Homo-oligomer: A and B are copies of this chain.
């Protein structure tokens, strides 16, 4: 590999990473999905936009790659860069798996099942139907149509969660229902991808399409892999966790990543997508002790690679191809909205929510984001879907993910309850500033950590930890009227809480002060 070629790749990487971060931060500033910013960053600098301009010394930053050796390339960018990005996708799905909140799933899973299923089935069939309607597929078993369906399925709950959390609404009935439904949604979406991908692979090998024997074999292989891995995880997950925790943080992170890569590669051998393997590996480790630690370490490390993945997805968007299918794209986007608002909203009407609550849930499930992008990328790179369908998928992702927060915020600002029979006290539960402690940053940090541990001992659990802004949201596991946030900004600790938990806050702060007082006293006497 000659140094010049290598340097050009490194320059491409530099530009992609920079564009991803700058657009990502810009989007974040306007309360939009960072992922979309990263995607658009890649679109802007990629081979179909600025990257096509011939520069002095460098030439075109992103010349469109047309062939690899003797083969026609399915991708307009180099395989080296694409591989780098794929590692990002695998790490991301591993992280999504690690972040899976099994507790929430068990608690609200049954209630959310209908909402999740409706939000899977309707978008899938609308996607298939839309693709046929515009002549990109002949019948319902056409892989292009099935792939479009698969792309439409998975909710990307990140942006909804951030909007609700900013409004302190993540703990509402609507909030937890959305979170739980999105988990189920992810799992089903990824299973659908597995099935569609297997069908596509089978079709390509077997010649003319579909046979029940083939489908059976494919299903057996997939179930065999998922079952086998789950068994391995069940039996060895805890042991692995204990071994990993004996190592330093950097080492166990690297080893866990290596395991995730291996499981991803094996998944592909069983006819599944690599991200399915990575996701499964994440879920299996999420229930072990090392899981939460890993999540934190990897989230840091993956920040060098994951944004590059989304920017690379952006570089694949051929605007000309996308322009030719603008109407198709708009219709699919409308279908994507209908699919979730009706698909998830209708079942919500039958599980205790009123019209307002159902709308909140339907819109909350709207953003497609990362999983749709990953699935679309797999289809394009494997040659299963065309550049046009890829463009449509990107358009749909952009529109749904941009729309959601704009509608969600007014819907949740409405003070009315989203439940058919709201409990009388439902409006009392307001969080207000309660106590502020000012001291040296060292003391405040220690105090914060001590207090949070004490809350956990008293039956509270952590709803959300925002390390960047130093906010911890805490709710009592049995009494949802006891809710509070602890915010640390250097030497200032602010505790906001609901009326129900002021007594607990007082008691725990007092015990914290006693603890530190005794600590000093005991050390002074020795």
Contact = CB atoms under 8 A, between A and B. Distances in A.
Contacts of A273: 3
A74 to B, nearest CB: 7
B269 A7 contact: yes
Q: Which residue of A10, A269, A382, A524 has the most chain B CB atoms within 10 A of its CB atom?
A: A10
Interface in A1-47: 1-4, 6-11, 13-15, 17-18, 20-22, 24-25
Contact of A515 (B10, B258, B440, B522): B440
Given A18-B262, A516-B520, A517-B520, 14 more contacts: A1-B83, A3-B273, A10-B86, A10-B264, A11-B261, A21-B251, A57-B269, A68-B69, A79-B79, A80-B84, A302-B304, A440-B515, A443-B450, A443-B519
The 8 A-B pairs of least Cβ separation, nearest first, read: A446-B446, A7-B268, A14-B261, A11-B265, A14-B262, A17-B258, A18-B258, A80-B83
A382 B251 CA distance: 32
30 contacts: A1-B68, A1-B79, A2-B381, A2-B382, A3-B268, A3-B273, A3-B381, A6-B83, A7-B265, A10-B268, A11-B262, A11-B265, A13-B261, A14-B262, A17-B254, A22-B255, A24-B251, A80-B80, A80-B84, A249-B300, A250-B299, A300-B301, A301-B301, A304-B305, A442-B450, A443-B519, A513-B523, A516-B520, A517-B524, A520-B520
Given A84-B83, A303-B250, A437-B523, A90 B10 contact: yes
Nearest to A517: B520
Contacts of A68: 1, 69
A314 to B, nearest CB: 15
Contact of A304 (B69, B73, B253): B253
Contact of A14 (B9, B25, B265, B524): B265
Contacts of A264: 7, 10, 14
B14 A251 contact: no
Contact of A265 (B10, B253, B446): B10
Interface in A402-456: 437, 439-440, 442-443, 445-447, 449-450, 453
B86 A6 contact: yes
Given A265-B10, A439-B523, A79 B80 contact: yes
Contacts of A447: 442
Nearest to A273: B3
Contacts of A14: 258-262, 264-265
A53 interface: no
A93 to B, nearest CB: 12
A468 interface: yes
A392 to B, nearest CB: 21
Q: Which residue of A73, A299, A513 has the most chain B CB atoms within 10 A of its CB atom?
A: A513
Interface string A273-306: 1100000000000000000000001011111110
Contacts of A87: 10, 13, 84
A53 B145 CA distance: 41
Contacts of A381: 1-3, 6
A104 B442 CA distance: 29
A495 to B, nearest CB: 12
